[in-house]
Amino acid sequence: MNEERAVSVLISGRGSNLKSLHENRLGYRVKAVLSNRPDAGGLKYAESQGIPTKVLQREHYPNLAAFKAAVLAAAAETEPDLVALAGFMMVLQPEFIEHFYGRLINIHPSLLPQFPGLETHERAVAAKVRHHGCSVHFVDSGVDTGPIIAQSSLELNRADTAHDAAARVLALEHALYPWVLSHLALGGITLSGRTVQYSPEVEREATQRGFLIFPS
């Protein structure tokens, strides 16, 4: 595939995954960054890279439904081939997921299906799990229940706090997320129904890099 795929990234915070997605891109370009918080640090990074940004704030809309409809409209207006959630702290409505299904991905800081939702590192440390990590998955209407694309894991140390775990897992996220997005853009990873399919090249690279994938 010669033409780069257009990716819109949705953020709410500092934008470290946005930075990694932009700096490690292959086969795609970050076309736009949307945020539901005007103070999101990732906005400054995007602007420094010449990436168009847009902020949508809940208080500017009469109700939650109107706000979520505006987020969908703003994302659709960017005409993305793929949409990447990168710390976007908002529950997406069914209409958003339906509009972008199969093109909408998220990174979650746990080895799904373990610890969906929030406070993943606190819960992992409290549960004294041996292995922890992150997952990139397609987004569906559930909470972190979409088809898992790939995972990266590490072994927790007994002395690790939730803060330690978060910092160590974040480094995994920065490697895994752009790798997945690149192969989605290049066509090496596809979705058929709820089954993720991988090219032989992707399977080889996953093994080399220590990523876990789920070939059928």
Digits of tens for pLDDT over the chain (216 positions)?
A: 458 999 999 999 999 999 999 999 999 999 999 999 999 999 999 999 999 999 999 999 999 999 999 999 999 999 999 999 999 999 999 999 999 999 999 999 999 999 999 999 999 999 999 999 999 999 999 999 999 999 999 999 999 999 999 999 999 999 999 999 999 999 999 999 999 999 999 999 999 999 999 987
* Angle subtended by helix axes 162-186 and 200-209, to nearest 10: 160
Q: Which pLDDT value is given to residue 18?
A: 98
Task: Return the sign of the alpha-carbon dihedral for residues 77, 82, 85, 90.
Answer: positive
User: Does an H or E element contain 214, and which?
Assistant: none
Domain count, the chain: 1
Burial class (CB in 10 A: 0-12, 13-18, 19+), 193: exposed
CA dihedral angle for residue 35, residue 37, residue 40, residue 44, rounded to 10 degrees: 60
Q: Which pLDDT value is given to residue 130?
A: 96
Q: Which pLDDT value is given to residue 2?
A: 57
The closest alpha carbon to 213, from 174, 193, 183, 168, belongs to: 183
Report the CATH number at residue 177: 3.40.50.170
The set of catalytic residues is 108
CB atoms within 10 A of CB 180: 25
- Sequence length of the chain is 216
Q: Which pLDDT value is given to residue 3?
A: 84
Q: Which pLDDT value is given to residue 104?
A: 98
Domain around 134 = 5-213
Q: Which pLDDT value is given to residue 1?
A: 44
Task: Return the sign of the alpha-carbon dihedral for residues 16, 107, 160, 131.
Answer: negative
Residue type, 153: S
